[in-house]
Amino acid sequence: MVELEIGLVGLGIAIIGSGIAIAGSGIGQGISASAAVGATAEKPETFGKNMVFAVLPETQAIYGLLIAILMMVGMGVI
Amino acid sequence: MLFPAEMKSVTIVTHDVYREKVISTLHEAGIMEITSVQDSKSEVSATLEPGESHPLAGKCAEYELRVSRVLDALKGFQESKESLLKQFLSPEPVAKTPVEERMPNQLFNEAESVLEKAERAISVQDELAGIGEGIDALRTQRISIELLVPFDFDLGYLGESKYLYIVAGTVRVGDYELFIQTLSAIEDILLLKRQIGELYAVVIAVPASAREELDDILRGRIFNAIKIEHPEGKPSKRLTQIDDEIKGLESRKKGLFKELKTIHGKWNKKLLVLQEELEIEKERMESPSNFGKTVNTSVIEAWVPAKSVDELKRLCDDASDGHTFYESREPEAAPEEIPIKYDNPSWLRPFEILTKMFGHPKYDDVDPTIFLGPILVIFFGLMLGDAIYGLIIFLVGYLLYRGVGKLSESMHDMSIILMAIGISTIVLGAIQGSYCGDIFPRFLGMNSPFMLIDPLREPKKVLQIALIIGIIHLNLGLSLAALQNIRRRKYRGALHDQISMFIIQPCAAILILDFFKWAAITPSLKTVGGVGMLIGVVLIALKEGPLGVFGLTGFVGNWLSYARILALALATTGIAMTINILVELIMNGHSAMIVLAAFVFVFGQIFNCVLQALGAFVHSLRLHYVEFFGQFYSGDGKYFIPFKSIRRYTKLKT
């Protein structure tokens, strides 16, 4: 029973941690993507390079996901 | 294929008698990019006079502008329009008009005679614009006069007469009390009001002597004056007049539309042909401004792909009866100044657009298309990972290929890309056991066919596959960077930037496996790992300084970024499964709900397919642009733009 509770708390923490990382990444991407859209409208040929800057903050969401998976693996949830 | 096409720098000297013929021949062939002799750093260029455009180039540009203006005026006025879907799926091919090479004056005379009749379209468009403004103004007037209908007085009374000054306007109901107080300063005043919704329409009459005082009071935000052009007759009568005027203008507008359609039907095709001919002529006439001149000859400098060198020489000789001096040599300019032409097999060419979107390779850079195309197709399939979504994408690609892809090169390329990623998604989706999510187990009570791995149940395994793919992809990038460094004889760069990473990776793997006790590592292997790691770190620090070692964390970050392959695979299957659960819930409610369930299923799955396909494409592209290109590619090259006549509506009679 106690183990199950610890497991659920751990799962909750993993979800919250992943959520914070994803939300932060989303905010960052919103800022950089709006600038990238502006730059692409001015110079369409720079699309590829603008996309690089727009998607950089996205990596933090992936870290969040990874840590969540690692936590769940560590706790035996998956 | 691995590098852009080999280029040659050529110099052509031709006698001026043959100049126009040589220019038109080379323009039709479209195999070389002319460079400015004045900008050239060659010794010969300093001894030459700068070339000048053809004296009739200005006149040609003027005719082209006039034709373009008429075509703009006729845009959208064809008699029968094909539906957008038909234009996409089964477009009519453009019938090309056969034309002959003509002297400029012949072309101008024809342009003049066509414009004489077709330029009427511009005045019709101007008149239409005037009518549009007129109708708008009348409609605004109508709204104002409608407010005065309840007063039923002659609008001619508005304004100043011998004894009276009369104004009309509106006041908001909430402001009316304040408005009345401000008017109390005037002794002799007549005020009529009628409520219309939230407003009071008011008419105020004062002695002519009180005009200035009234105007001062009314100036402000409370009173909104009604201004009427041609105030004559009672409001209701004026409204009827306005309606008649609008009707007259609408009828005139219809007549003008019809006239434009007639002009379009009669002249549009001819104008398109003329525009193309004039554009081609203008480009030819302006090209000598890049040439060098002696008394009787013109000197052309250009870039040409090595494969086309012999053809270029033959064309020049044919056009000038052998009176051309011709020299081709190896390029001496810096790699970023040499234009590049992609040199890929036909199956790979559609993927060049993805490289171009980032930037062209430099002349001595690896052309990454050969890696980008096939790997992007695999990444997309892994990320979208649903066999039915893949089938939908393949069918869309096939329809485009059979339809608009036949006419447009860019749509043809896009259709090939769609078909390739569609097939990859069908195969990799089947392997992941996803068919619109879990329809087989949920609705048909059977296991998904061909399933080898289920991302929802075995995320760890998918993550491991993603990370293995990632490390291979990154090392491919590092290998290409090493290859570029070695070709440029930058051996130290290859040693410090790439070979160091090749040493560090296996050594780090040994140390990590030992640290987490994931494998039994012998002490001697552990020592080899430690020493190798140290050597790798020192190699990086020697070039980049101590802070350069932090580049290792960047490399790890890039590697972990490939975990998005798992994330997207999970997202597609997860959302598709949620839609299926919803559909199941609706179906279980009542047998009549099956229609709604079908609607939710179709709409939901299409929505998920579009959304996830977009995500999978962007993320596949990102893994190439950021992680893969970051190892070796800058995309700072210059694209080869041939001196070439573009013929969409004409074909040259031979």
Question: Does B635 contact A69 at a Cβ distance shorter than 8 Å?
Answer: no
User: A18, A58, A67, A75: which to substitute to probe chain B, counting the most B Cβ within 10 Å?
Assistant: A58
Residue B170 tokens read as: 């509106």
More confident residue, A63 or B14: B14
Surface of B (634-653) touching A: CB under 8 A: 635
Q: Please check whether the two domains, B7-53+285-340 and B133-242, share a CATH topology.
A: yes
Q: Is A55 within 8 Å of chain B by CB?
A: yes
Task: Name the amino acid, one letter, at B57.
Answer: A
Name the minimum distance, in Å, from the CA of B608 to any CA of chain A: 20
Contact flag A49-B626 (C-beta cutoff 8 Å): no
Which of A43, A67, A69, A73 has the most B C-beta neighbours within 10 Å, making it the best mutation to test the interface with B? A69
Determine contact: A63 vs chain B, CB below 8 A: yes
- In order, the DSSP letters of B543-603 are HH-GGGGGHHHHHHHHHHGGGHHHHHHHHHHHHHHHHHHHHHHHHHH-GGGHHHHHHHHHH
Per-residue model confidence (pLDDT) at position B217? 87
* pLDDT per residue as tens digits for the range B434-483: 999 999 998 888 988 998 998 888 888 999 999 999 999 999 999 999 99
**Considering only alpha carbons, which residue of chain A is nearest residue B635?**
A49
Tell me what pLDDT residue B369 has: 96
**Which residues, other chains included, contact B251 with Cβ-Cβ below 8 Å and sequence gap of 6+?**
none
Contact B460 A69 (CB under 8 A): yes
- CATH node for B7-53+285-340: 3.30.70.240
pLDDT tens for B28-75 read: 999 999 998 887 766 777 788 888 899 999 999 999 999 999 999 998
Average of per-residue pLDDT values in chain A: 80
Confidence of residue A2 (pLDDT cuts 50, 70, 90): low
Which of A50, A55, A70, A77 to mutate: most B Cβ within 10 Å? A55
Neighbours of B351 (CB within 10 A): 24
- In chain B, which stretches have pLDDT less than 70? 41-42, 79-81
| Partners of residue A69 in chain B, C-beta under 8 Å | 459-460, 463
Query: Is B560 close to A51, i.e. CB distance below 8 A?
Result: no
Strands B199-207 and B297-305: unpaired
User: Within an 8 Å CB–CB cutoff, is residue B463 touching chain A?
Assistant: yes
SS3 B134: helix
Distance CA B486, CA B488 (A): 5
Quick one: pLDDT at residue B384? 94
- Nearest Cβ partner of A49 from B359, B563, B618? B359
Residues of B in contact with A47 (CB under 8 A): 357
**Which stretches of B623-652 are DSSP H helices?**
629-632
CB atoms within 10 A of CB B311: 14
Residue B207's φ and ψ, nearest 5 degrees, are -60, 150
CATH number of B133-242: 3.30.70.2750
Best of A29, A52, A75 to disrupt the B interface (most B CBs within 10 Å) is A52
User: For residue A56, what is the nearest residue in chain B, using CA coordinates?
Assistant: B626
CA–CA separation, A62 vs B551, rounded Å?
19
Determine the Cα–Cα distance for residues B444 and B550; give it in Å rounded to an integer. 53
For B375-390, the pLDDT digits (tens) are: 999 999 999 999 999 9
**3-class SS at B446?**
coil
Contacts of A49 in chain B (CB under 8 A): 358-359, 635
Q: What is the pLDDT of residue B78?
A: 75
Q: Closest approach of chain B CAs to the CA of A24, in angstroms? A: 16
Interface of B with A in 526-585 (CB under 8 A): 557, 560-561, 563-564, 566-567
Contact B30, B294 (CB under 8 A): no
B614 interfaces chain A, CB cutoff of 8 Å: no
Number of other residues whose CB lies within 10 A of the CB of residue B285? 21
**Contact: B635, A73; criterion CB under 8 Å:** no
Tell me the C-alpha distance between B256 and B267, whole Å: 16
How much is the pLDDT for A78?
59
A59 vs B contacts (CB less than 8 Å): 557, 560-561
- A37 and chain B: CB distance < 8 Å anywhere? no
Who's near B535: CB < 8 A, 6+ residues apart?
B500, B503
- Asked if B75 and B263 count as a contact pair (C-beta separation under 8 A), the reply is no
Helices (H), B290-408: 309-319, 352-358, 369-384, 387-402
Residue B335 in contact with partner chain A when CB distance is under 8 A: no
Give the pLDDT confidence score for residue B245 in this predicted structure. Answer: 94
Q: Is B130 on the interface with A (CB under 8 A)?
A: no
pLDDT range class, residue A1, cuts 50, 70, 90: low
Contact B459 A69 (CB under 8 A): yes
Side chain identity at residue B10, one-letter code: V
CA B402 to chain centroid: 22
Domain positions in chain B:
7-53+285-340, 59-120+257-282, 133-242, 369-632
Task: Please report the pLDDT score of residue B77 as a whole number.
Answer: 79
